Amino acid sequence: MTAAVPATEAAVPAGRDMPRAVTLLVFARDRGIFILWGAIILAFSFWCAPYFATLDNAMLVANAAAITAIFAAGVGIGVMTGVLDLSLPGTAAFAACVVGWLMTHGQPTWLSLTVGLLAGAVVGLVNGLIALRGFNPIIVTIGTLSALSGLAAVIAGGYTFPGLRSLQFMGTDRYVGVPAPVYIVAVLFLAGFLFLTRTRDGIRLMAVGGNAEAARRSGIHSERYRVLGFVISGLCAALGGLVSTAVTTEATPEASPGIIFNALTAVALAGVALTGGRGSLPRVLVGALILATIANGLTIRGVQPYWATVLTGVLLLGSLGLERVIQRSVSNRLMATANLSVHSGKA
């Protein structure tokens, strides 16, 4: 009954290592998008030679991907933490108009930019606090989307803020030949990646996205982290709005829904599960780069731009199907080995 347990016997034997096939499948699932991007680049390099595979063109692609990438970071971090924030275009327009207003009213650039970013964070905070009251985040953020684009128009008085030339340093200027937005994206993704994988709050954020109940039982205030997800998403949206403004040197109150579609496409291509808790920022970045690469390559060949949209759609559906297949076969294989170890143990 109370028989002593032999001290050396492990309660669970060290599982034999995962079968090779599973390791490979998991690799394909996690790194597949990098391979896909490589394949696309390779294909275009031949098909669009000699114009595609040049340093100048690489800069063009990177720059074209930059703004989508910033918004995709917001959507991606939101989705990973269990939040789908549709208010992004509204937040972007609102932050841009706040900056435009401040700058045309004689405020220094740094102050205007800081306030613009803060505005994004506040929008995220409000979104988060409303969603915490048990309202569906999608509906809440659709509401704030509409409210914010209206507010942006109010700030702009029905017009736009043109001629914001002092923002060029983060828009069209190049440093060592590389456009400014590319640096911003690099810093943003590096910081986001380190935050989500290396820091306490980032790891908790991912855990809350994956299983809020599990996090709660480990003594974590899930709600705070959910709000933090909204705040980060709002910050990214504001940053996206500011960079767009800097590139065009004009702040417009127009909240273009295309922003959210592009960002969502990049995020979905990156295999970020909409159920939360899963995904990685580097893959989201590559997702945005794939969109830009396809558009660029097809433009070089003079293909109509709508074919780029068709192609991305097909890629997206294909990647969904592939992921399903991989997931199935991983769990089948794992199931087989689990049964094996139980039965062989009994003999």
Partner 1 sequence: MMTAALRLTGIDMHYGYVRALTGIDFHVQPGEVVGLLGDNGAGKSTLLKIMSGAHRPSGGTVEVHGRKVELHEPSDAARAGVQMVYQDLALVDAQDIATNLNIGREILRRGPLGWLGFVDHKAMRRRSEAELDRLGVRTAPMTRPVEMLSGGQRQVVALARSAIRVAGAGQGVLLLDEPTAALGYEQTKQVEALIRRMAAEGVAIVLVTHNLPLCHEVADRVVILNRGVKVADVRLDETENDHIVGWITGARPSQFVTRQEIS
**Chain residues that interact with partner 1, rule: CB under 8 A:** 1-5, 7, 9-15, 17-18, 22, 26, 194, 198-204, 206-207, 210-211, 213-215, 217-220, 277-278, 330, 334, 338, 341-342, 345-346
Question: Minimum distance from CB of 29 to partner 1 (Å)?
Answer: 11
DSSP letter string, 224-246: HHHHHHHHHHHHHHHHHHHHHHH
Closest to partner 1 by CB, 105 vs 198, is 198
Burial string for 90-119 (b: 16+ CB within 10 Å, else e) reads bbbbbbbbbbbbbbeeeeeeeebbebbbeb
Closest to partner 1 by CB, 35 vs 338, is 338
Closest to partner 1 by CB, 310 vs 340, is 340
Closest to partner 1 by CB, 49 vs 203, is 203
Quote the tokens at residue 272: 């970020």
Closest to partner 1 by CB, 277 vs 287, is 277
Question: Minimum distance from CB of 3 to partner 1 (Å)?
Answer: 8
Question: Minimum distance from CB of 336 to partner 1 (Å)?
Answer: 11
Question: Minimum distance from CB of 306 to partner 1 (Å)?
Answer: 36
Question: Minimum distance from CB of 212 to partner 1 (Å)?
Answer: 9
Closest CA to 277 of 196, 174, 340: 196
Closest to partner 1 by CB, 152 vs 206, is 206
287 and 269 Cβ atoms separated by less than 8 Å: yes
Contacts of 293 (CB under 8 A, 6+ apart): 37, 40, 41, 44, 61, 65
DSSP code, position 7: T
Question: Minimum distance from CB of 218 to partner 1 (Å)?
Answer: 4
Closest to partner 1 by CB, 138 vs 338, is 338
Dihedral over Cα of 27, 33, 36, 37: its sign? negative
DSSP letter string, 62-90: HHHHHHHHHHHHHHHHHHHTT---TTHHH
First CA to last CA distance, the chain = 24
Closest to partner 1 by CB, 15 vs 258, is 15
Quote the tokens at residue 148: 């914010």
Burial string for 217-243 (b: 16+ CB within 10 Å, else e) reads eeebebeebbbbbbbbbbbbbbbbbbb
Question: Minimum distance from CB of 261 to partner 1 (Å)?
Answer: 26
Question: Minimum distance from CB of 119 to partner 1 (Å)?
Answer: 25
